[in-house]
Chains A and B, each alone.
Chain A
Amino acid sequence: MSTQPISNQRPPLDLQTRSMRLNTARRNATNYFISALSVLATVLVILPLIAILFYLIYKGASSLNFAFFTHIPAPVGESGGGMANSIVGSGIILLVASLMGIPIGIAAGVYLAEFGRGKPLATAVRFTADVLNGVPSIVMGISIYSLIVLQQKHFSALAGGVALAIMMVPTITRTTEEMLGTVPHAIREAALGLGVPKWRTAISVSLRTASPGIITGCMLAFARVAGETAPLLFTAFGNQFWSFKLNEPIAALPLQIYVYAISPYDEWHRLAWAGSLVLIVLIMVSVTLVRIFANRGVLKGGS
């Protein structure tokens, strides 16, 4: 090619040669083939989701009854019983976790967004948070076991709460930072220009403006740990009876589902399905409720 003499007259470009047409046909075929594959992949992904949701509602709803919400588990062999103590137990553990995890997570996010801009320390914190986010929950479980349960010499609701709190922190930190980052700098300047101290600006202006996003982030973190089982196995441990004390083993919905699912009894399997349905509905309802409340406080016309 390179030895060809340069001619001023370029030959006309023929787009209708046989090889050209074949090439186009092949390219179009590949195009359709790949498009079809990606549609197929999407269908294949949605299929198990629908299967899981369908099974959950079908099996769960048929096993749900009033006793499920009012009774504690029945002994092996007896029918009936419910998971009332597990629902309450999960509530207590999650309350402990939220009380510890949400403030720390938000504060760390405030540091990253309001004080740490461009500092190497902030980059390190951000990165550590991302890494901590990927630590397997079972590892969190045995760490808290070693740290708290072994010291206290017994399993406890507190230990379970701490394990879940630690899992909430990195997610909340990163969302808080991200949401504060969307607050325009001009608004902070407006407050500072009025002689408002920086701490007050951070709380009443930056955080308040970003609050819908931050609340949503907290709820997502909450929803994520609400279904966690592994970190509770050796911390909250589970309990067949009522327990309201922070320093005693306590029942939790995911733990109870696990125990029942791997048991050999049909009656318990039924309860496991019902428990799963209740767990998912509780997660969804709490997330939706908080979103509605978070949106209500915002005035019309505000962005």
Chain B
Amino acid sequence: MGVGILVEGLNAWYGSTHTLQDINLPIPANHATALIGPSGCGKSTFVRCLNRMHETNPIARATGVVKMGDIDIYKDASPVEIRRRVGMVFQRPNPFPTMSIYDNVISGLKLNGFRNRRILDETVERSLKQAALWEEVKDDLKKKSGASLSGGQQQRMCIARALAVDPEVLLMDEPASALDPVSTSKIEDLIFQLKSQYTIVIVTHNMQQAARVAENTGFFLNGKMVEFDSTHKIFTNPKDKRTEDYITGRFG
């Protein structure tokens, strides 16, 4: 089951660029939350702050409070511990090229030292089924490299890989931006099914996508969060003029 996230006063920098300015946002558990905004508005940086991936870049820095359940991820835990509880799917599929499909899916477990074969086998099947990939690959799990799949299949495998560690939160950074329309709709279906079990945060530049999958939507602009509300309200009756301009296509 997922866990809610409470963000208070989050600031982030890249070198001297202030990329996130004082973000406050409650993300409800077991729902999908979409983040929209023009490119460079800080939405990707924001999700990377939620699992402390932001700080893997030596020039990057973040301050503020991010509460996941009852722990403050910047105070009460190490980055490694947080990332084990939070799955992440990146913009482009990034399978491990030297590993088979099987090893790719359970890499988060194996690389962290998990050895129980029976559970590993079960996990591969469970997460590939959750990612709607099981039927397509079940016959060559150990024969084929993860990199030999098509782009859409790779991305679903990456989702399975993120689900295999049994996370509480699933972060998706424009997961369909590098995919064709058919693969995109498959990924959207997936998110729709997964959101009852996980807290999902999805970054997208595609407003229709946000409207289709998410209950709540936040609009980012120039490093600030302009508006956060239920998706329906954001798209039909936004409070802020800038949100309205963006969703009606007047800029960006």
Contacts and interface: CB of A to CB of B under 8 A. Distances in A.
* Direct A/B contact, Cβ within 8 angstroms: yes
A193 B98 contact: no
What size tier do the contact residues of chain A reach? 20 to 34
A191 B107 contact: yes
A186 B97 CA distance: 11
A194 B111 contact: yes
Contacts of A298: 98
B162 interface: yes
Interface string A183-205: 01011011111111100110011
A186 B111 CA distance: 17
Given A299-B145, A302-B145, A193 B90 contact: yes
A184 B97 CA distance: 10
A171 interface: no
A301 B97 CA distance: 8
B158 interface: yes
B84 interface: yes
Chain B at the A interface: mostly helix, strand, loop or mixed? mixed
A206 to B, nearest CB: 10
A209 B98 contact: yes
Contact of B165 (A118, A187, A195, A205): A195
Contacts of A302: 97-98, 145, 147-148
Contacts, number: 90
Contact of B98 (A192, A195, A299): A299
A193 B95 CA distance: 12
A286 B147 CA distance: 30
A27 interface: no
Contacts of B112: 194-196, 200
A208 B98 contact: yes
Contact of A189 (B90, B111, B144, B162): B90
Contacts of B107: 191, 194, 196
A196 B82 CA distance: 11
Given A190-B90, A194-B162, A302-B98, A200 B148 contact: no
B51 interface: yes
Given A192-B53, A194-B84, A205-B96, A301 B144 contact: yes
A300 B144 CA distance: 7
A21 interface: no
A184 B94 contact: yes
A303 B97 contact: yes
Interface of A: 117-118, 184, 186-187, 189-197, 200-201, 204-205, 208-209, 211, 298-303
7 contacts: A187-B97, A195-B82, A200-B111, A201-B111, A299-B98, A300-B144, A302-B148
